[in-house]
Chain A
Amino acid sequence: MLGITSAMLDTIPIASYGPPAFAASHEGPHRESLRRRSSGALNLPSPDNGDLRDLGERIDEVRRREESRKLRPPATPAGIVLRFGTELLAAIIAGVAIGWGLDWVFGTRPVFILVMFFFGAAAGIRNVIALAKEINEQAMRDLAGKPVPPTVADDEED
């Protein structure tokens, strides 16, 4: 439990590492204009602006992907069980509901419900597999991230 709470607290002060545009919007327009003025005063040979912006966008993209993965809810065993259950159940409910609707439209009562039930179950299983994969990856990352006690003395590795 302690691990979970500290992991959640870790997510709070990320702001300062955020992409520059976001940080700037928090600092207000004053700081931004100040920075622009000072960079203009230096009159450095600036690299192509388009390239730089492109690179910045790519970095933002990667960071966003990584951070969003890191922000996934921390897992408790009961939570995982409940997630699997709801994921499977929800897809089946959705499938049957769609089938019901199609039957209502075409007046073919059991046909679409039956067909869509199986499609719903398939979608549910697909969701569960995706979820299991995600949880496994998360667990592997957590395992990799943990500091492993060194078995070899440090100077021998270099």
Chain B
Amino acid sequence: MAASPMEQFEVVPLIPIHIGGFDISFTNQALWMCIAVVAASLFLTLPVARGRLVPTRMQSMAELSYQFVADMLHMTSGEEGLVFFPLIFTVFMFILTANFMGLIPGSFTVTSQIAVTFALTALVILTVIVSGFARHGLRFLKLFVLDAPIYIAAPMALLEFIAFCARPISLSLRLFANMLAGHTMLQVMAGFVVALIGAGGVLSALSIAPMLLIIGLGALEILVAFLQAYVFAILSCIYLSEALHLHEHH
């Protein structure tokens, strides 16, 4: 019963598929990603389908999340940035749903897999690079050039380039680490409860302490689930905005 706290992150193939030496099995991770996509789509479409003038609670939640992301994007990258609304909204809703569903006991947290978070980040950063070059051509490279004498600008350009490459890594690492740490902590605390009850006597009475901690941590995890989706989305917006406006804002 008291399993390893890392067991919850194990990717298990449900339907083994091997094509041409590649393992593309349908795993529990793939299953939960599908569930997240379906849940997010239903959450956004079903309540709005009726389209009442005075919204029901669910409708206003769906509309609020739309408005929230639209405002965020507009504030960070202005009018032109709204082209990226579908991307940012999709990514935000997917991460938010996946994070929240990961909190359901017995579910699988897709965002605690670095492969998933990095794929999402790669999507955003590739959009930044492609749109940056499409919009500014080679002038996009000015992102790395400082307004300074050449002997300072040259090494700084290298630093800026590394910093730029570090962005997708830190973006994916942050989401992944937050989810991993939170869920591991919950599992460890739950393990304490089981162990203390198993010990019997006075010790089993003590099991109430980690139990209370789990409640607190659970609440914190709900906050983190939202916050990390928000952080991911807003940083994506800021990076996209930089690609659109280059150095204007400095």
Beta-carbon nearest neighbor of A83 in chain B: B174
Is B126's CB within 8 Å of the partner chain A? no
Report Cα–Cα, A72/B158, bound state, in Å: 27
Is B211's CB within 8 Å of the partner chain A? no
Residues of chain A within 8 A of B174, CB atoms compared: 82-83, 86
| Interface of B, helix, strand, loop or mixed by DSSP | helix
- A127 pairs with B166, CB closer than 8 A: yes
Residue of A15, A18, A72, A86 contacting most chain B CB atoms (<10 Å): A86
- A120 pairs with B162, CB closer than 8 A: yes
Shortest beta-carbon distance from A146 to chain B in Å: 22
Residue of B155, B159, B167, B178 contacting most chain A CB atoms (<10 Å): B159
User: How many chain A residues touch the partner (CB < 8 A)?
Assistant: 44
Interface residues on B, range: 35 or more
Residues of chain A within 8 A of B226, CB atoms compared: 8
From A65, A67, A123, give the contact of B166 (CB < 8 A): A123
| Interface of A, helix, strand, loop or mixed by DSSP | helix
- B76 pairs with A71, CB closer than 8 A: yes
Is B68's CB within 8 Å of the partner chain A? yes
Q: Which residues of A (14-40) have their CB < 8 Å from a CB of B?
A: 14-15, 18-19, 21-22
Report Cα–Cα, A132/B46, bound state, in Å: 44
Is B165's CB within 8 Å of the partner chain A? yes
In the complex, the 6 A-B pairs of residues with the closest C-beta atoms, listed nearest first: A90-B170, A67-B75, A90-B169, A94-B165, A94-B166, A123-B162
20 more contacts with CB within 8 A, not counting A18-B71, A67-B75, A68-B76, are: A11-B68, A11-B72, A12-B64, A22-B79, A64-B74, A64-B76, A65-B249, A71-B234, A82-B178, A83-B174, A86-B173, A89-B169, A90-B166, A90-B167, A91-B166, A93-B166, A94-B162, A95-B166, A98-B162, A123-B160
